[in-house]
Structure 1
Amino acid sequence: MFGSAAKRENAELKNRIAQLEQLLANLGGGDIMRMQSYRMQLSQELTQLEQTRQRAAQEFEQMRDTAITRLENLKSEITQLDAEIIDARDELQLQDFGWFEFENPAEASVQLEQALKDTRDRARKLVRDGQATTATMAFTFNNSAREGKNFIKRMSKLALRSYNAEVENAIVKLKAGSLETAEKRLVKAKEQVERMGTMIALRISNEYHALRIRELQLAARHLEAKKAAKEAEREERAR
């Protein structure tokens, strides 16, 4: 009984193997191997393409970051150039009114440097805003209000040039102990402008004049302190 059952199972297994062999033959064993080989090749190519894509993505990110950084740098450079252009135009406009950045002795003083800067900035703003001088608004030239206005502008500019030149000379040539003389020189320059511009009530504004006097005084304070320090040094050496 058991022998016949085993024979039957063995026959069924052989029959199943034969069916599988026939199925493999029908499919073509060589074709399957080629398909598997082709699949492996495609898989490898896919892996390589993915690696290439990742490298390209990294390079693109680097290029993008570099471009963004360069763009920001260019924007910063353009902003700086715009500021320099504005400063240059502003400086040219101020120079047209006789304003020049000359050396003031107070610049060498740590205590007076900021006060000097603030004074100069305020005076510079008055020149830029057309408030360093005053004049009548009701003046005609050749029966023309427009020509009268242009005449006042030209005269104001000439007067301010003359006055600013006196300020520069007074400060550059200032010596310790000569502040009073230098102040009188600026007062005289202001009075000369008023006499010259009597017809149009042209004057150096009191605020502007006070700032230039202040600038002169700061220079004198530094020179006096410097002189006192030298005298103290000489006395110390003598002792």
Structure 2
Amino acid sequence: MPEYRFNSPPGWPVPPREWKPPQGWRPDPSWPPAPAGWEFWIPEDPPATAPPGVSEQPERKSGGLFGGKKRLEEENAQLRAWVERLGGMDAMRVSAMTEALHVEHAGLQVAINDANRRLRETEQRVVQTEETVLLQEVGVYEYRHPLSDAVAYKDKLAQVKARIKAMAKEGQAVVGATNWQVNGSASEGRKMVRDFSKLMLRAYNAEADNCVRTMRPYKLQSAIDRLEKVVESIVKLGRTMNIHVNPGYHRTRIYELELTADHLAKQEEEKELVRAQREQQREEEAARREFEREKTRLRKEEAHYRSALAKLLKNGAASAESVDELKAKLEEIGAAVSDVEAREANVRAGYVYVISNIGAFGENVVKIGMTRRLEPEDRVRELGDASVPFRFDTHALIFSEDAVGLEGRLHAELTDRRLNKVNLRREFFHATPAEVRDLLQKIAGQHLLEYRDTAEALEWRQSVAPTP
């Protein structure tokens, strides 16, 4: 036997589904009259659901907009069944369902807005500290407070640290309310404010000291942001007693962070300069020893020929040809000694080399440098030591009385192609050997007798070759 429910006429409030009029119940006189022939009791209908095979949001099929006549007819039939289902429900029930959906939608929208608000507040509180992200955004470091050297930064930091200690000792770091009372006692109130202020100061200083200890120049802005968040947290936690970090003390600690970053950057800059100077000294010392060895060899050879000439002249039986030959050899050796001494005296003379290492740096990358060695290939072999996986290939060795100037002009022409745009002593460039050859011909103004455009790179090619 079907169950019945009360069917409210239009304009009447909708009662709960299980509601039944109590004995003697009468409708409110302010309600509109029921339409003629209105059925107050109707069979209970099952909850309105989509007909079988009809989804509330029909799924778009792969046919797209022009999916074919058959698919359109099926969708139309499903929609007509749904409309007929709704039409079989009374207007009051449809209205109630619609209102419930509106209420549910409004509730969901409020929850979404609240979640978005809390997400924005969290993002504002979060400070990016992940080193990988910070390193991806790093640029050329710019000094906040330029000083002459690392010693000057160290002295300035010592002064700042002394000022920080003095401000903390004099109670100028974290301040709070002066009229706070505990159990009616002003002295107890001041003691409580002092104790809480010390606690807040310890928390602030712990974060500031940690930022100083872990400082890297690229972390500076992140460290400042972290310290700003600590100040905001202390203000929130100490709001009832008006406890907050003294702005002057906070500025001093920010100044300390900036000086620390500058000091570290200057230290690294000076270390790199010292490394470059030591490398230059080693190169000069190697060249000096080479000059000395060559002069010793030539003078030994010269002494040998002088002794031989003296013996020939002493015997008196020597032919004129033999004497002239020995004299010519001595003149040649004398010229060679003079040439070595001139090379040793002229610190700008030497060889400019163009080399590459495909296995270590990839194709279209060259290194352009200079050496004063008598045997420049010795320098190339040193560069290809255990610090790189493969030996360098030499494309050109150009002797010049002003090798320093020739090297500088080549570097200037390729300055926008530098691999390392910060440390200019790293002489690697994005360029092909052929491009450097054209530059050399334009700058040197002469034809290069020997130049290799293609790198042999035998070790690398054998290493990457497929195994049989």
TM-score, structure 1 normalization? 0.51
Is residue 145 from structure 1 mapped to residue 186 from structure 2 by the alignment? yes
Question: Counterpart of 1:119?
Answer: 160
Is residue 191 from structure 1 mapped to residue 380 from structure 2 by the alignment? no
Range 186-195 or range 151-160, more displaced:
186-195
Question: Counterpart of 1:201?
Answer: 242
> Structure 1 pair 230/114, CA: closer, same or farther in 2 (3 Å)?
closer
**1: distance between equivalents of 2:424 and 2:173?**
46
Question: Counterpart of 1:215?
Answer: 256
Is residue 164 from structure 1 mapped to residue 205 from structure 2 by the alignment? yes
Deviations for 1:113-172, whole angstroms, at most 9, x for unmatched residues? 221121111111111111111111111112221211110011000000000000011111
TM-score, structure 2 normalization? 0.27
- Which blocks of at least 5 consecutive residues in structure 2 are unaligned? 1-146, 277-422, 429-468
Question: Counterpart of 2:425?
Answer: 236
Q: What SS does structure 1 have at the residue aligned with 2:217?
A: coil
Question: Counterpart of 2:174?
Answer: 133
Contact conserved, 2:150 with 2:267, CA < 8 A, in 1?
A: no
Shift of 1:230: 6.1
**1: distance between equivalents of 2:172 and 2:238?**
16
Contact conserved, 1:177 with 1:224, CA < 8 A, in 2?
A: no
Contact conserved, 1:159 with 1:193, CA < 8 A, in 2?
A: yes
Question: Counterpart of 2:444?
Answer: none
Question: Counterpart of 1:178?
Answer: 219
The 4+ residue runs of structure 1 with deviation greater than 3 A are 226-235
Tell me which of the two structures has the higher relative contact order, counting C-alpha pairs closer than 8 angstroms and 6 or more residues apart.
1
Contact conserved, 1:176 with 1:227, CA < 8 A, in 2?
A: no
- Which blocks of at least 5 consecutive residues in structure 1 are unaligned? 1-105
Shift of 1:231: 6.6
Matching of residues 87-98 of structure 1 within 5 Å:
none
> Structure 1 pair 227/110, CA: closer, same or farther in 2 (3 Å)?
closer
Q: 1:225 aligns with which of 266, 272, 277?
A: 266
Shift of 1:237: 4.8
Matching of residues 44-123 of structure 1 within 5 Å:
109-123=150-164
Q: Which has the higher helix share?
A: 1
> CA-atom RMSD, angstroms?
2.3
Contact conserved, 2:161 with 2:256, CA < 8 A, in 1?
A: yes
Q: Which has the higher strand share?
A: 2
Aligned-partner residue type, residue 138 of structure 1:
N
Aligned-partner residue type, residue 203 of structure 1:
H
